[in-house]
Amino acid sequence: MVSVRKYMPSYLLMLPFLILYLLFTFYPIVRGLIISLQKFYVLGTKRFVGLANYNYLLHDSTFLSSIWHTVIFVVFSVPLLVIIPFCLALIVNAPIKGRKIYQAIFFLPMILGVSVVSSVWSAMLGNYGGLVDAVLNAIGIHQEINWTAQSTQLAWISVLAVTVWWTAGFNMVLYLAALQDIPKELYEAASLDGASGWAKTCFITLPSVKRVTILIVFLQFIASFNVFGQIFLLTGGGPAGATTTIVSYIYEKSFSEFLFGPGAAASYILFFILLIVSLIQLRLMSKTE
């Protein structure tokens, strides 16, 4: 107990944070697990039902397809949001005039909220003739396309395009920081040996950004798995539920149907998927150390 008294100031300093943390993070984590094992009745009573909610989800085709849709989004968005930001970072890191301006432009959408982004793109893709249709008309493609509702493919393309436009700047900045950490001497030595620009990119730049690429893939994976706002506001999960993702499902179950049990169980499944991804990433990161 002597040491506890000795470190009293330490505990007191941490106390405000820890109280709030226990109340607003730790308690909800535990409570969420309990809710996922309960059935809620309309009158506010609840009953312990074991794994019934999880069982319900495994037999709910809407839930299974929401996982599938999320996987589709992850599979397409992660590569796009690694490759495009890397190219953007290469561009703004190159010795060209106006690089600061390009950098600012690519990053700008990142500061806009999801509501503004969705509102802007509703107008761009508008289902009664948006700017994208107008541009297509101008180059001779005369078609009224209902981007967000006409077909599953077009709805996904719209969501992907919006997500890339909105968030590519973030990954670009991470790449940029890594690119600027590469010692200039490496490039100078390669130049003396007569290496071309492309050779330098392939043999110096690419290997040097391996670590940050793992980090970006991981962050993007988590962000893509949690995708919700832009889908909710742009396609509303449509057409016919074809763009409903896991978080959309949690939202619908919990706050439209007020089925908290299955909603909480779905949240926990999401949590476990992300936990596994995090563990894989930690393993990969420590290997490249």
Partner 1 sequence: MQVREAMPTSPAPVSVRADSALRMGRLTRVLLYLVAIVLSILWVVPSLWILLVSFKPQGSNVLNVASWFQAPYSVGNYVYAFTHAPILLWLLNSFLVALIVTVLVLLLSVLCAFPISQNRFPGRGLVVFLLALGLMVPGEALLIPFYLLFRSLHMLDGYGALILPSIAVPFGVLLVKQFFDGLSREYFEAAKMDGCGVLRMIFMIAVPLARPALAALAIFTFLGSWNNFLWPYISITSPNVMTVPVGIPFFNSSYHTDYTLPATADVIVSIPVFIVYVLFQRHIIRGFAFSGLK
Residues 109-138 that bind partner 1 (CB under 8 A): 109-116, 118-124, 126, 129-131, 133-134, 138
The smaller minimum CB distance to partner 1, of residues 155 and 162, is found at 162
CA distance 272 to 275: 5
Strands of the chain (E only): list them.
38-40, 46-48
Q: Give the interface size with partner 1 as a residue count (CB under 8 A).
A: 111
Q: Does 108 bind partner 1 (CB under 8 A)?
A: yes
The smaller minimum CB distance to partner 1, of residues 97 and 152, is found at 97
Which parts of 38-77 interact with partner 1 (CB under 8 A)? none
Beta pairing class for 46-48 and 38-40: antiparallel
CB of 85 to partner 1, least distance (A): 12
Out of 4, 42, 43, 139, the only residue in the binding site for partner 1 (CB under 8 A) is: 4
The smaller minimum CB distance to partner 1, of residues 155 and 246, is found at 246
CB of 244 to partner 1, least distance (A): 14
- Helix (H) or strand (E) holding 235, with range, is none
Which parts of 235-264 interact with partner 1 (CB under 8 A)? 247, 250-251, 254-255, 260, 263-264
Q: Does 206 bind partner 1 (CB under 8 A)?
A: no
Max CA separation in the chain (angstroms): 82
The 3-state DSSP class for residue 38 equals strand
CB of 165 to partner 1, least distance (A): 7
Q: Is 119 exposed, middle or buried (0-12, 13-18, 19+ CB in 10 A)?
A: middle
Which parts of 79-98 interact with partner 1 (CB under 8 A)? 88, 91-96, 98
**Residue 175 near residue 89, CB atoms below 8 Å:** yes
| Helix-strand-coil split of the chain, %, nearest 5 | 75, 0, 25
Assign residue 129 a region (left: φ > 0; alpha: ψ between -120 and 50; beta: otherwise).
left
Which parts of 150-179 interact with partner 1 (CB under 8 A)? 165, 170, 173-174, 176-178
CB of 183 to partner 1, least distance (A): 9
